[in-house]
Amino acid sequence: DAGITQSPRHKVTETGTPVTLRCHQTENHRYMYWYRQDPGHGLRLIHYSYGVKDTDKGEVSDGYSVSRSKTEDFLLTLESATSSQTSVYFCAATPGTASNTEAFFGQGTRLTVV
């Protein structure tokens, strides 16, 4: 798993509450990503980061924000959780060089919004 750790692994939260998911990597990869996975939709990109404090939106970014203050940490925040954000969230990281495009994934966070 190239040192990708997500926390928490499971979380149940109430509608309207803020939630922060954490992703930590030990390999000093430049690029980091947050995906959500839902049945029938595969992995959908929420936000990604191409360096410290450099982030951009993916295809399903509404309702989510991210921050990357250190190379090793990428945080995903749901400002006000909704039931539609119940999902499994995966963090990934890659060196993103021409010779190494492999993305390494964390084990996922299962989030339930009730």
Partner 1 sequence: GQSLEQPSEVTAVEGAIVQINCTYQTSGFYGLSWYQQHDGGAPTFLSYNALDGLEETGRFSSFLSRSDSYGYLLLQELQMKDSASYFCAVRLTGNQFYFGTGTSLTVIP
The residues that touch partner 1, with contacts defined as CB under 8 A, are 1, 31, 33, 35, 40-45, 48, 50, 56, 58-59, 90, 92, 94, 96, 98, 101-108
- Residues in the chain, how many? 114
CB-wise, 31 or 81, nearer to partner 1?
Answer: 31
Antiparallel, parallel or unpaired: β 42-51 and 31-38: antiparallel
**Rounded to whole angstroms, how far apart are CA atoms 63 and 42?**
19
CB-wise, 98 or 114, nearer to partner 1?
Answer: 98
12 neighbors 83 (Cβ within 8 angstroms): no
CB-wise, 9 or 18, nearer to partner 1?
Answer: 9
